[in-house]
């Protein structure tokens, strides 16, 4: 039996139509289409379509992607697990960025990955010839995905090579290095953005709007926990010189940064405790558990924790005067769901909200591309990462001393943040 394909079916239909005298002998008729108004409207560089149904809140806007050659070129520095499983696949969903170069100390691995992503072999670099990126017009942005202790060195070198920088969190291992990164990018007149992906995803941005709009009243307390038992002995994350600390800078930072992001405030008092089990060889140099409390100027308390030795738990909840909202799971790459609790008559109601999946790394890269093109400060610039470094240093100080550590209040809300990316309509 002959296989029927879509192309074959079209051809067969045309033949039948011809036999019925529906098509002229010289050429085939155009396929019957709906009216032009229903096929889409082109205005400038935008295309819009009418909705498929009658719901007034369904947008007919088509995602607008830059032509491939116009997208900003990105050199990914470091081909570890995060790059291979999340960042590089994320380019398939990016509207404004494309991978154009790779930097790795393992040439054979880099060549395999380059072939998969159509990166020419001439655009494969190692750490010795990294500075030659200055001569490559294919690269606009350097995305640093290296162990924390190397962030400062390669940010400085990238800036000196004339490239903008997207750096994974935590920004560095010391406050001094974080400041050095900021200074180098300012001197080179290049953008520096820290990859705080939660600030870019629609779920957390919706939560931000609810908190700032006080849709559940005024927030009184925040609880946030992030931990997982995936820190195997020998990983660089357990070597203090490479990581700067244990679970706090790795996963506890999500709790810290999200509390700051949602409230817009900076903590004025900090208390903390850490554990470093003597019978577990993983924690010879860094902490396992970290619990810390932040008091914000408005009176909001944030109780946060992180750990490496318990089953995965990622959750955040904000308790307000007229209800609560949270995410469980939170901080992950997908499957984020918002829960909202509020009084309904004589009982408490529970609502859940989910959003269409968005690739978080594509959102970050596109936000930086837009900031570069618009010459704007990114939402999460170096100053945002520097502030977290200062607070984490205070957390360690509080844990070591057992005393309250006080910090100077910020002059305004969102004092360390730049311009939010454009919201999709």
**Catalytic positions, written as ranges:** 169, 254
* Cα 292 to Cα 38, 223, 304, 397, distances in angstroms: 56, 10, 5, 11
Half-sphere exposure of 177 (CA within 13 A, CB side): 17
DSSP letter, residue 61:
B
Contact 78/103 with Cβ under 8 angstroms?
yes
**Which of 318, 248, 241, 250 shows the shortest CA–CA distance to 285?**
241
Half-sphere exposure of 320 (CA within 13 A, CB side): 23
Cis peptide before 364 (omega within 30 of 0): no
**Which of 407, 388, 417, 82 shows the shortest CA–CA distance to 248?**
388
Cα 364 from Cα 221, distance rounded (Å): 28
Question: Dihedral (C-alpha) 129, 130, 134, 135: value to the nearest 10 degrees?
Answer: 40
Q: Which two tokens stand for residue 407?
A: 């910090």
Cα 366 from Cα 200, distance rounded (Å): 10
Q: Which two tokens stand for residue 75?
A: 């050199």
Contact 79/113 with Cβ under 8 angstroms?
yes
Residues with Cβ within 8 Å of residue 273, at least 6 apart in sequence = 289, 290, 291, 292, 399
For residue 54, report the phi and psi dihedrals to the nearest 5 degrees: -95, 5
Q: From the CB of residue 318, how many other CB atoms can be counted at a distance below 10 Å?
A: 25
């Amino acid at each position: 039996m002959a296989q029927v394909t879509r192309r074959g079916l079209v051809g067969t239909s045309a033949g039948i139509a011809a036999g019925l005298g529906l098509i002229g002998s010289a050429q085939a008729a155009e396929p019957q289409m709906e009216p032009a108004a229903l096929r889409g409207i082109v205005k400038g560089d935008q295309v819009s379509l009418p909705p498929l149904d009658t719901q007034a809140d369904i947008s007919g806007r088509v995602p607008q992607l830059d032509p491939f050659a116009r997208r900003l070129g990105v050199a990914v520095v470091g081909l570890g697990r995060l790059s291979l499983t999340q960042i590089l696949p994320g380019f398939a969903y990016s509207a404004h960025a494309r991978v154009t170069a790779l930097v790795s100390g393992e040439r054979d691995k880099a060549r395999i990955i380059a072939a998969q992503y159509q990166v020419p072999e001439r655009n494969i670099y190692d750490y010795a010839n990294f500075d030659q990126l200055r001569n490559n017009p294919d690269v606009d942005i350097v995305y640093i995905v290296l162990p924390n202790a190397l962030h400062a060195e390669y940010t400085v070198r990238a800036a000196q090579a004339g490239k903008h920088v997207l750096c994974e969190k935590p920004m560095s291992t010391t406050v001094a290095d974080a400041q050095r990164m900021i200074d180098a990018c300012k001197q080179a007149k290049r953008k520096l953005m820290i990859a705080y992906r939660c600030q870019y995803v629609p779920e957390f941005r919706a939560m931000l709007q609810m908190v700032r709009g006080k849709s559940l009243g005024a927030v009184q307390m925040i609880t946030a926990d992030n931990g997982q038992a995936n820190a195997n002995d020998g990983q660089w994350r357990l070597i203090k010189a490479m990581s700067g600390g244990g679970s706090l800078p790795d996963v506890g930072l999500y709790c810290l940064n999200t509390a700051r992001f949602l409230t817009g405030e900076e903590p004025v008092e900090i208390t903390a405790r850490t554990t470093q089990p003597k019978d577990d060889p993983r924690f010879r140099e860094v902490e396992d558990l970290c619990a810390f409390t932040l008091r914000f100027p408005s009176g909001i308390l944030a109780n946060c924790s992180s750990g490496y030795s318990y089953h995965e738990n990622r959750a955040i909840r904000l308790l307000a005067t007229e209800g609560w909202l949270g995410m469980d799971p939170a901080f992950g790459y997908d499957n984020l769901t918002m829960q909202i609790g509020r009084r309904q008559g004589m009982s408490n109601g529970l609502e859940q909200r989910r959003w269409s999946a968005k690739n978080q790394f594509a959102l970050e890269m596109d936000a930086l591309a837009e900031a570069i093109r618009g010459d704007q400060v990114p939402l999460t610039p170096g100053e945002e990462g520097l502030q977290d470094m200062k607070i984490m240093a205070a957390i360690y100080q509080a844990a070591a001393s057992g005393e309250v550590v006080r910090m100077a209040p910020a002059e305004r809300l969102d004092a360390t943040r730049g311009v939010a990316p454009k919201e999709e309509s």
